[in-house]
Amino acid sequence: MTKPALSYTIWFSQRTGSTLLSEALTSTGIAGNPAEWLHYQHNDPATMTPGKLEAIWRHGMTPNGIFGLKIQFEQRWVDAFRAMFDLSEHVSRADVWSTAFPNCAKHIYMTRRNKVRLAVSWWRAIVSGEWHRKAGHKPDEQDLADQYNYEAIRHLIQESMMCEAAIEDFFTASHINPLTIVYEDFILDYEGTVKQVLAFLNLPADNVAIAPPAFDKLADEAAEQWVQRYRADSQKGWENVRW
């Protein structure tokens, strides 16, 4: 099996545009196919084998040898790869990762500034079952007005922050300087962001066709009402209302 000439990883927390970016990069035909290969095909690290890992390389690699993967940081995968390749505890987590995904010299970090809107988007997806809407498809007819849940949204804010803290700790400990993609900027400059990623990967973008956004925006009136309600509930009784 031919190993990737270059591997890169997109690290993300929920609702930061990672799927939109992955679809765009895949559409170029030169930037790998950065799907959630570990999550979808091998959710239990104990079942991973060298043969299954090679299959992941094959599925995630374009003919030019570029391999892409996207994942939320999970220490269990680092531990599983360390054991699978019989690497000592002295080998850094980044080197363990690059052993599993050869030549993984590029890391992309996806984040979102407004964690309240992130959590509301996440909760909306959970209660509606609609995580993505393909471009041009008709919205699902659902009444979500009574699905507001303060505790659930607060939990998801905390979960997203802990997820990002784990990713950032990995970067800091491994001396990794990632390309950071901010959701709010990405949606304002879709094509420019994709070209920025291609440049980061040292891939020529001048004559590369980038497909239009694969998904439509899901935020609706109900979600905005939840955002405003969460703002009010969280700051009830505050002398200095921050937002």
Phi/psi at 107 (nearest 5 deg)? Answer: -130, 135
What pLDDT shows up at residue 142? 77
Q: Give, as one character, the DSSP assignment of residue 4.
A: P
Active-site position among 23, 36, 151, 164: 36
What pLDDT shows up at residue 42? 58
What burial letters (b/e) apply to 147-184, b meaning 16+ CB within 10 Å? ebeeebbeebbeebeebbebbbebbeebebebbebbbe
Residue 93 to residue 81: CA distance in whole angstroms: 10
At residue 108, does pLDDT exceed 90?
yes
Distance of CA 44 to the CA centre of its chain: 19
Active site residue 36: yes
Packing angle, helices 221-234 and 115-128, rounded to 10: 130
The kind and range of the H/E element at 175 are: none
Task: Give the tens place of pLDDT for each residue, 49-90.
Answer: 999 999 999 999 999 999 999 999 999 999 999 999 999 999
- DSSP labels, 98-164: HHHSTTEEEEEEEE-S-HHHHHHHHHHHHHH--S--BTTPPPP----GGG--HHHHHHHHHHHHHHH
- DSSP labels, 70-92: EE---HHHHHHHHHHTT--TTS-
Task: Please report, rounded to a whole number, the percentage of residues in the chain having pLDDT higher than 90.
Answer: 85
Residue 209 to residue 229: CA distance in whole angstroms: 42
At residue 40, does pLDDT exceed 70?
no
User: Per-residue confidence at 206, pLDDT binned at 50, 70, 90?
Assistant: confident
Quote the mean pLDDT of the chain: 94
User: Per-residue confidence at 189, pLDDT binned at 50, 70, 90?
Assistant: very high
Task: Give the tens place of pLDDT for each residue, 116-168.
Answer: 999 999 999 999 999 999 988 888 777 787 899 999 999 999 999 999 999 99
Tokens of 213: 């956004």
Superfamily of domain 6-234: P-loop containing nucleotide triphosphate hydrolases (3.40.50.300)
Query: What residues does 12 pair with on adjacent strands?
Result: 110
Domain ranges of the chain: 6-234
- 231-236 contacts at long range (C-beta below 8 A, 24 or more positions apart): 231/116, 233/150, 234/154
